[in-house]
């Protein structure tokens, strides 16, 4: 499948962290200018848990699985993502320099839109009016996920306490 600039624009306008800039054609064109396209075969690793990462991925076409390792070293699938749901992963690398928190495997032949951290930082240095709303939106998404994780952890803790008592 050939990827057109219009197709890339259409996709990124659907991604939540571009919501504040999606109506500004100049801003969107600046984003498109730093996007690379990556094709991945079914069953291939896109991100490996524990490795350093420097790329954000937008799922343009195909499906992926987000996997975590258990303490026993087994992989389990946390969630499956589909391109039609306008999803992304690897966004934390734009915020910090930590290791990848999960493995991402392609469950179909996949096309990804890739934004490298150094390109995003350069864009931000040159056009803070573009990168600030994106960074703010990514931070809000991460904050929401952290709140949900905390809630889930408390639910598990309560269940454990009830099991011990009961």
**Domain layout of the chain by residue ranges:** 5-165
Q: Please identify every stretch of the chain with a pLDDT value under 70, giving residue numbers as ranges.
A: 1
Q: Which pTM does this prediction carry?
A: 0.85
Measured distance CA(131)–CA(134) in Å, rounded: 5
Query: In whole angstroms, what separates CA 94 from the centre of its chain?
Result: 10
Q: What is the pLDDT of residue 1?
A: 65
Written as six digits, the tokens of 29 are 């064109």
Q: What is the pLDDT of residue 84?
A: 96
Query: How many helices (H) and strands (E) are present in the chain, helices listed first?
Result: 4, 8
Q: What is the pLDDT of residue 8?
A: 96
| Whether domain 5-165 has CATH 3.40.50.720 | no
Measured distance CA(143)–CA(13) in Å, rounded: 22
Span 17-49, pLDDT tens digits: 999 999 999 999 999 999 999 999 999 999 999
Q: What is the pLDDT of residue 123?
A: 96
Q: What is the pLDDT of residue 7?
A: 95
Q: What is the pLDDT of residue 96?
A: 87
């Amino acid at each position: 499948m050939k990827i057109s600039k219009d197709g890339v624009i259409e996709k990124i306008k659907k991604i939540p962290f571009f919501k504040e800039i999606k109506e500004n054609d100049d801003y969107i064109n600046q984003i498109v200018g730093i996007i690379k396209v990556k094709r991945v075969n079914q069953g291939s690793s896109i991100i490996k848990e524990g490795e350093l990462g420097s790329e954000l991925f937008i799922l343009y076409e195909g499906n992926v699985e987000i996997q975590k390792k258990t303490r026993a070293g087994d992989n389990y699938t946390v969630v499956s993502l589909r391109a039609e749901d306008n999803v992304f992963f690897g966004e934390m690398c734009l915020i910090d320099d930590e290791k990848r928190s999960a493995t991402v495997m392609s469950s179909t032949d996949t096309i990804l839109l890739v934004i490298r951290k150094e390109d995003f930082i350069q864009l931000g240095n040159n056009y803070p009016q573009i990168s600030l709303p994106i960074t703010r939106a990514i931070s809000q998404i991460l904050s929401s996920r952290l709140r949900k994780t905390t809630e889930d952890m408390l639910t598990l803790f309560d269940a454990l306490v009830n099991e011990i008592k009961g």
